[in-house]
Amino acid sequence: MFVALVPPPEVVEDLSEFLAPRREAGTDLRWTDDEQIHLTLAFLPEVAEAGLDRLTEALGERLSAIDPAAVRLVAGGAFPNPYAARVLFAGAEPQPWLATLARAVRHTASHAGATVDGGPFHPHITLARMRRPIEATRWIRILQAYESPGWVADSVTLVHSQLGQGRQGRPRHTPVATLPLAPAEL
Catalytic annotation, residues:
38, 124
On whether the CB atoms of residues 34 and 51 are closer than 8 A, the answer is no
Q: Which helix (H) or strand (E) holds 40?
A: strand 39-46
The beta-strand segments (E) located in 61-171 are 69-79, 85-93, 115-117, 124-134, 151-153, 155-162
Torsion sign, CA atoms 99, 66, 116, 90: negative
Order of strands, sheet of 85-93, starting from the edge strand that comes earlier in the sequence: 29-31, 124-134, 85-93, 69-79, 151-153
DSSP annotation of 167: G
